[in-house]
A and B are shown apart, each in its own frame.
Chain A
Amino acid sequence: MNAFDDTLHRALARARRRALPVRTSSSLSPDPDVTIGIATIKIVTEEQIQAVAFGTLDRAPTVIVRLDPIGRDVSDLLPFARFLNATVQRSIVADAPMRVWLPHDVTLEALDVLGHRYWRNQTASAEIVRMGELCRVIAHEATIPGQQLVADATAQLQGHVVTGMAPIEEGHLHAILAWFDPAVADPLFEARERIRLPASGILPNTPDHPHDDRVDRLRKEAKSASGAYRQRLEAQIDAILRNWVQHEWDLMVAGRRAFLDLGLPSAGLDGLVKDSTKRVAYALTNGFFPARQPDHLAAQLSVMEAGQEKADHAALESDPLLRAQAMRAGAVVAGTVSAVRQPRPKFYPCDIDVDSSQSVVRLRLDDKVSIVGTNVTGVVRGLDTTPTGGTRVSLEITGGVRTQSVLSVGAGVELVRSAFAFVNLRALGVVREQQSWIFYGDTAPTIAARPSTGQSALAIATAARRP
């Protein structure tokens, strides 16, 4: 959506005092059976998790509060590790996809750092190491466009609605939610009040809620205290952290609810779900390996690019609003079938012309396209300007030739370029075998010189030119 449209939506949202959807379809598939949530409170800059709430979303979370998050002993994280491992096991056994809900990307970062710290830690227990590995798998998958494993409540809302606030304020989940709550009379005022306290997986530290400083001080005292006194200090730390990690959890649950209540259909995402599930299942079974070798890096890059292309395509296919925007930029071509050249109905060969009033068309000769909402695919064989300044697209139909409904004169169609991006693992396999020095060597080899012609290249070329 361009800046102007976005702004008008904000203005309307402010006038209506509620969030406005900017999508008519969802970019997130429905929650699978194995769906969990995780919320964390970290120590700022140290990036150590000091409290974590986790569980399934239908009941109150399990909460772990860490009294000494900086210390080397991580046995207090075991319940979380076991939960994560068990969840993963469930999805592996059921051979079904998994979903992890998070309140926002800060939680994802916290989990990724946790992963980095323990997935190769020799002094930690096997369960903790596995937890670290799973965190890395989750965080890595989250970086791939179109992935369906991680659902970030804030990002989902930001991606599907606008509010009457400034975009920068929409990073605050609690603030966005004010625009969904009918009980809130003035969402703008309420949202800005809420922004005073963080919703980013950290403790507040305002004059009226100086919890971060307080916990810091309590920890210091507790270190040198003992007995019942120490217990009392620890109880206070526990109470504060428990309260705020629960707050994060509640925001996540409310954010998910608000998103689901938008009731956006999630059609056309099967391909993305399949890819995502396959990638995650592989990593969960075979372990996480960060890409370092050039071929792995190339694979990773093309996985991301293919993901992006497929996600964009799925969104266009299923979202008329996005298609309307894409038409202005010529990425989608809407028109009417003006001619069908098909010697035998329902059989190949079949060529059609589509006349569109659009002058801006981004299709090129030999592009593979599909007709939105059908199984019909084709290749662009001609692009001509119509007398009225529109465009005539000639297609050679290569799939769905029996779909007469659109393969007949007068039928209204929308053409969109097919998402043919794929990861050429086979080629990358060969690359790995061949180990070309350019990518795998440290020094450039010298090769045997060839006998020169002793003539100027220009002279030779001139001589070789046809008269």
Chain B
Amino acid sequence: MDESIDIDRLRSEEAELQRKLDELRATRIALEQKVKPQSRDKARPLRDLVLDLVQDAGAPLNSLLLASVIRPLQGRTIPATRFGTLSNDEAKSFDSSRARPVYLCHCLTHDQGQAVKRFWARSDWPLPERVMGPMTGRILFLQGAAWTINLARLVEAGELVADNPEVLKYVAADQARDAGLSVKRGEFPYEAWLATIADAIDRHIGEDRALRETAAVVLASRLDDRERLFGTRKGLVSLPGSTPSWRSAIE
């Protein structure tokens, strides 16, 4: 008796899920036909996409920001680990015989020239654009935030098509909040946000740029072509306990 009820319930549940699935599929296909460009972008390799976005931003971008923008903009979810492999692939392809016109590369620390793996840039940019001084982290964050907010602004103005404009608005608002701007629910004063961020950038950009340019000169002379893109190779770290004679400094 009870079983039969359960079976009926499960049947109806199954049926409904099927119906919802069909609905969903239909909506998706409709959407895809509406926004062709993105569907093409969906097929594009992540590498090319990042190259374009970085170019569009005009400044190095952080993996986390890229992932959170690509999702609403292109309707693609990029797993965090994907950027790791992207970095390795790019270095490999640089090492291979077939040279590419432009490479995806990293920012470099101003003193050591080490790769800052989460920040992506283009090999065809002048080196100072990719050097990270003490304040560069702040500048790049603000520039990335401004870029994101501007994307949302363009989408709202109908000058750009996004896979999910609503989510993009909130990604932009998050950036504004992270920058310490006052953010009210459901309000998106893009212009005001951009103005405040521009001021914040102006406060530090001068000094930062100067430092990056001098550092770049030194790095350029010190690093080979590969290192200039993917950073100096790491020195070895000796871990303790390797030899019985080894004694801890805290003893």
Are chains A and B touching directly in their complex (CB below 8 angstroms)? yes
Q: Judge if A227 is at the interface, Cβ distance under 8 Å.
A: yes
B16 within 8 A of A: yes
CB contacts between A and B, total, < 8 Å? 11
Known contacts A227-B20, A229-B16, A232-B13; 8 additional CB pairs below 8 A are: A72-B185, A123-B185, A226-B20, A227-B16, A228-B16, A229-B13, A229-B17, A229-B20
* Nearest-CB residue, chain A, relative to B19: A227
Q: Which residues of B contact A227 (CB under 8 A)?
A: 16, 20
Interface size on A, residues (CB 8 A): 7
Q: How far is the CA of A123 from the CA of B184 in the complex (A)?
A: 11
Of all chain B residues, the one with the shortest Cβ separation from A123 is B185
| B-chain residues with CB within 8 Å of residue A232 when the two chains form the complex | 13
Main secondary structure of the interface of A (DSSP, over half): helix
Interface string of A239-272 (1 = CB under 8 A from B): 0000000000000000000000000000000000
Residues of A within 8 A of B17 (CB): 229
Q: Using a CB-CB cutoff of 8 Å, which residues 68-88 of chain A contact chain B? A: 72
Per-position binary interface string of chain B over residues 6-44, scored 1 when its CB falls under 8 Å from any chain A CB and 0 otherwise: 000000010011001000000000000000000000000
Interfacial residues, chain B to chain A (CB-CB below 8 A): 13, 16-17, 20, 185
- In the complex, what distance in Å separates the CA atom of A72 from the CA atom of B185? 11
| Chain B interface SS verdict (over half) | helix
- In the assembled complex, which residues on chain B have CB atoms less than 8 Å from the CB atom of A72? 185
* Chain B residues closer than 8 Å to A229, beta-carbon distance: 13, 16-17, 20
Residues of A with C-beta under 8 A to B20: 226-227, 229
- Report the minimum CB–CB distance from B5 to chain A (whole Å): 14
Residue of chain B at shortest CB distance from A225 = B20
Residues in A neighbouring B16, C-beta threshold 8 A: 227-229
In angstroms, how far is the closest chain B Cβ from the Cβ of A233? 11
Cβ distance A156 to chain B, nearest Cβ, rounded Å: 44
Residue of A nearest to B184 (CB): A123
User: B71 → chain A, closest Cβ, in Å?
Assistant: 16
Nearest CB of chain B from residue A71's CB, rounded to whole Å: 12
The 7 closest A-B pairs by CB, nearest first: A229-B16, A228-B16, A229-B13, A229-B17, A227-B16, A226-B20, A227-B20
How many Å lie between the Cα of A215 and that of B16 in the bound state?
23
Bound: A227/B13 CA distance, A? 11
* Bound CA span A226–B27, Å: 16
Least CB separation from A72: chain B residue? B185
CA distance A228 to B20 in the complex (A): 11
Nearest B residue (CB) for A229: B16
11 chain-A/chain-B pairs, Cβ below 8 angstroms: A72-B185, A123-B185, A226-B20, A227-B16, A227-B20, A228-B16, A229-B13, A229-B16, A229-B17, A229-B20, A232-B13
- Kindly supply a per-residue 1/0 record for chain A positions 171-195, scoring 1 wherever the CB is within 8 Å of any chain B CB and 0 otherwise: 0000000000000000000000000
Chain A: minimal CB distance from B161 (Å): 25
Cβ contacts under 8 Å, A228 to chain B: 16
The CA of A123 and the CA of B20, in the complex, are separated in Å by 36
How many whole Å from B167's CB to the nearest CB in chain A? 14
Q: CA A228 – CA B185 in complex, angstroms?
A: 30
Closest chain-A Cβ to B212's Cβ sits at a distance in Å of 41
Q: Which residues of A contact B185 (CB under 8 A)?
A: 72, 123
